[in-house]
Amino acid sequence: MTDQQQIAAKIWDPTLYDNTAQYILYYGEDVIKWLAPKKGENIIDLGCGTGHLTAKIAESGANVTGVDNSGAMLQEAKKQYPEIPFIQADATNFHLDEPVEAVFSNAALHWMTEPQGVISSVSKALKPGGRFIGEMGAKENIATIIAAINMAFVEIGQEPMPAVFPWYFPSLAEYATLLEENGFTVEQMAQFQRPTALNNGPEGLKSWMRNFADPLLDTLSEEEREFVLERTITYAEPALVDDDTWFADYVRLRFVAVKDK
């Protein structure tokens, strides 16, 4: 099992994910517009999670297959969308019988901490001229949340950043270079701030941390975890609350790249 699979097995709770991260589906529908799926195309949804965006892509008439490395998330996806094929595989090492016209990925590539391997696998999966469309966390994504967690860790005598950092947040230039070095032409790319509202006030940020920051917290005792959650709220509040609404300070990277012919 790779490091990616170990992280996935530890943190992904499909019920928590679907209940607290509805905004991923909402914003992901805009990324599908960049994909512009066509009837009859063969498309991979890489890091498909519980399959909601996979199903949205399928509504276009495209033949879409979901790929994810979390068995728990795929079990829920198969239950909700039994008509769609789903495959459990690591993004750095997935194989298809035939190459496809497009690979799509939303809110997943930043969990894949070996980007060279991921892009290489995507290239192998695509036909010449095939499209790679994605959105992910970019450089400075959740910087305020990370800083607040770090300050809380210092208070309990931990290093400011634990050894396991579960995310890969590249700059636009860094990711564009990786794509070009692996035989892609970048047709569109944008890096932008997207503050994302969280439901239920400070409890919304706690749910976000339980859902997405578990690798940073799972070495702590229950008492330490609760302390870190509470102190993170305190440190983050001045920057992340606007008109009584809590926000996650997201910075996103969105792109369309085409495999060279």
Is there a domain that residue 241 lies in? no
**pLDDT tens-digit series, residues 95-127:** 899 999 999 999 999 999 999 999 999 999 999
Query: Domain for residue 76, yes or no?
Result: yes
Distance CA 248, CA 208 (A): 9
Domain total in the chain: 1
Is residue 25 one of the residues assigned to a domain? yes
Please report, in angstroms and rounded to a whole number, the separation of the first and last CA atoms in the chain: 34
- Alpha-carbon span 214 to 166, nearest angstrom: 9
Element counts in the chain: helices (H) and strands (E): 11, 10
The answer to whether residue 19 sits within a structural domain is yes
Cβ atoms within 10 Å, residue 31: 20
Closest CA to 135 of 86, 188, 99: 188
Residue 204 falls inside a structural domain: no
Give the per-residue pLDDT at 162.
Answer: 57
Q: Distance between CA atoms of 175 and 187, rounded to whole angstroms?
A: 13
66: containing domain? 3-139+167-198+249-259
- The CATH number that applies at residue 174 is 3.40.50.150
Task: Tell me, yes or no, whether 146 lies in a domain.
Answer: no
Q: Is residue 223 part of a domain?
A: no
Give pLDDT tens digits for 17-58.
Answer: 888 778 888 899 999 999 999 999 999 999 999 999 999 999
> Residue 164's pLDDT is what?
63
**Can you tell me the distance from the alpha carbon of 227 to that of 208, in angstroms, rounded to the nearest whole number?**
16
The CA-CA-CA angle for residues 53, 58, 61, to 5°, reads 150
Tell me the per-residue pLDDT of 180-205, one tens digit each, with 9 for 90 and over.
999 999 999 999 999 999 999 999 99
